[in-house]
């Protein structure tokens, strides 16, 4: 949690602080002016949130619960961002993320407060996950005994996994290559190349659309990066951390954790799809609080003698593009992609504030293909959560990132990411051929799909590349140089839905702390 000092308050108000109670004559007009300022300070503060994706909506919801006035600006005609669910002919599918977990505390906070526990939908047999090898799906081992029996990895790779706690015990962290080590290099040091090819590669492709060699370990898996720093062995570190957490949890706290684990086990979606979550958040906002088809054009920060806060003015354009509006706020949260933020015009104290220090960010494209097959047309249906295809399996003609739900009639397939960025832009017909071919090889699907739907995300994910630290530094600089502005979203902290929610809630907490600190500074200065 960031703490705020008087540097974030207006200098003109800080001049009032002096050894004497009041450094000015006390007149009737002075008393009235002070009373007016006190009344203004006691008024409910207003906060703007730019972007109505899951991060922005989560932030707005938490701010509103705290009693603040909130306005959310969204350029699109709908809220929800990349959580988009479609219902058609009795089928429901997601064109973006189709599951999430409760690994973040903020997720449980929303589920409880929004009353969504009864709407959670857990996949059947979600513990059964598959990896394609030699053109065939192989069940992913779920425990050490299953790993020994599995033919997913060679005997040499299995031995390296079991020896990792001993080979890396108390290993000096000075031996780590550098802070920008790739995901692939990190896991290859610990477990070998085959583990990277058949476990790490398909996992990061399925969660971030990236490949192990282009992703930064420090930013994609910060927890594991920290475990190596503390323990050397990441297996030993994970075990010791888990045991330590158990020892610290006793009595009622332990009972509470057990209940939480019942809620947070595994991946889940919602009845009606993932958009159920963002719809619930949107419904908590009034019509005047959620402004759709409202594109923000300019942000302007200024300081008033009657306020301890930098006052933010937002100019935005309505959908008809013939009418622009302006509103003022005490703080704001940006959740728009940084590529879009860089295009905004920002001024502070009447002077342009340039965002040229934000580096160029690479975004990964992704196409989502929804296909349905009649039950009798699928000869080798899999009971499980899904199939992930390593990039190495492209040698065997497999090019998609497929996840098959328990209902074998409907398949959601992801094409693209860093391994096949151009393929993500292919035509609907070409993608249909590729997906159908892969499903025939993996599942024995016969004939053509009964139906096919296609959605393309040109910027599905920001790439957490090996130089991504410069992006985080730029975000920190933007927040430091623009008091009252905070950034949230999947450009920092993680790409999952849970991480995005947590980022939004954390930004809301920072806004609350900022407003409280500046209000205290004003009281102390009078």
- CA 182, CA 494: separation in Å to the nearest integer? 16
**pLDDT tens digits along 47-95:** 999 999 999 999 999 999 999 999 999 989 899 999 999 887 777 888 8
Task: Report whether pLDDT(132) > 50.
Answer: yes
For residue 14, how many other CB atoms are within 10 A of its CB? 15
| pLDDT for the residue numbered 31 | 36
Superfamily of domain 144-240: protoporphyrinogen ix oxidase, domain 3 (1.10.3110.10)
CATH of domain 46-82+103-119+273-357+465-524: 3.50.50.60
Mean pLDDT of 154-158: 90
Of 80, 133, 48, give the one whose Cα is nearest residue 442.
133
Band (34; pLDDT cuts 50, 70, 90): very low
Token pair listed for 8? 């974030």
Q: Look at phi and psi of residue 493 and say left if phi exceeds 0, alpha if psi is from -120 to 50, else beta.
A: left
Mean pLDDT of the chain: 79
Q: Comparing 10-19, 131-140, 165-174, which segment has the lowest mean pLDDT?
A: 10-19
Q: Note the pTM of the prediction, 2 decimals.
A: 0.78
Domain residue limits, the chain: 46-82+103-119+273-357+465-524, 144-240
Positive/negative CA dihedral, 60, 494, 511, 47: negative
**pLDDT tens digits along 428-449:** 888 888 888 888 888 888 888 8
Task: Report whether pLDDT(404) > 50.
Answer: no
Strand 410-416 vs strand 363-372: parallel, antiparallel, or unpaired? antiparallel
- Over its C-alpha atoms, the chain yields an Rg (Å, rounded) of 26
Cβ within 8 Å of residue 92, ≥6 positions away: 85, 86, 272, 273
């Amino acid at each position: 949690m960031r703490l705020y000092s008087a540097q974030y308050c207006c200098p003109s108000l800080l001049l009032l602080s002096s050894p004497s109670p009041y450094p000015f004559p006390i007149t009737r007009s002075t008393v009235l002016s002070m009373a007016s300022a006190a009344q203004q300070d006691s008024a409910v503060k207003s906060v703007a949130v730019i972007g109505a994706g899951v991060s922005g909506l989560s932030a707005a919801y938490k701010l509103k619960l705290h009693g603040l006035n909130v306005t959310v600006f969204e350029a699109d005609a709908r809220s929800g961002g990349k959580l988009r669910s479609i219902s058609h002919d009795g089928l429901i599918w997601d064109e973006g993320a189709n599951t999430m977990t409760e690994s973040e505390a903020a997720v449980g906070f929303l589920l409880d407060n929004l009353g969504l526990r009864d709407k959670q939908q857990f996949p059947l047999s979600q513990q059964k996950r598959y990896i394609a090898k030699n053109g065939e799906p192989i069940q992913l081992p779920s425990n050490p005994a299953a790993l020994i029996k599995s033919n997913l990895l060679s005997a040499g790779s299995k031995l390296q996994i079991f020896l990792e706690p001993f080979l890396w015990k108390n290993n000096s962290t000075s031996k780590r290559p550098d802070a920008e080590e790739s995901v692939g290099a990190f896991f290859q040091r610990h477990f070998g190349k085959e583990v990277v090819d058949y476990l790490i590669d398909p996992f990061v492709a399925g969660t971030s659309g990236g490949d192990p060699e282009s992703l930064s370990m420090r930013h994609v898996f910060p927890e594991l990066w920290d475990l190596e720093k503390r323990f050397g062995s990441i297996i030993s570190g994970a075990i010791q951390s888990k045991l330590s957490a158990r020892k610290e949890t006793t009595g009622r706290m332990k009972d509470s954790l057990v209940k939480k684990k019942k809620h947070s086990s595994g991946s889940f979606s919602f009845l009606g799809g993932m958009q159920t979550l963002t719809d619930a958040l949107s419904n908590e906002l009034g019509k005047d609080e959620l402004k759709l088809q409202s594109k923000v054009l300019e942000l302007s920060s200024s300081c008033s003698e009657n306020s301890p806060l930098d006052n933010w003015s937002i100019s935005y354009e309505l959908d008809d593009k013939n009418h622009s509006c302006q509103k003022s706020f005490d703080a704001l949260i940006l959740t728009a992609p940084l590529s879009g933020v860089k295009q905004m015009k920002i001024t502070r104290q009447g002077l342009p504030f340039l965002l040229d220090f934000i580096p160029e960010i690479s975004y990964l494209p992704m196409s989502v293909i929804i296909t349905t097959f009649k039950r009798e047309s699928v000869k080798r249906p899999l009971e499980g959560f899904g199939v992930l295809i390593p990039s190495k399996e492209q040698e065997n003609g497999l090019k998609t990132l497929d996840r098959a739900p328990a209902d074998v009639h409907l398949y959601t397939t992801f094409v693209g990411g860093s391994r096949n960025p151009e393929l993500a832009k292919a035509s609907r017909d070409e993608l249909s051929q590729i997906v159908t071919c892969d499903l025939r090889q993996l599942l024995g699907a016969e004939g053509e799909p009964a139906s096919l739907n296609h959605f393309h995300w040109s910027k599905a994910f920001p790439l957490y590349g090996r130089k991504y630290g410069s992006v985080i530094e730029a975000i920190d600089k933007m927040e430091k140089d623009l008091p009252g502005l905070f950034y949230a979203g999947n450009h920092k902290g993680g790409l999952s839905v849970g991480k995005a929610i947590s980022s939004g809630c954390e930004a809301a907490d920072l806004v609350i702390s900022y407003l409280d600190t500046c209000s205290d500074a004003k009281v102390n200065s009078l």
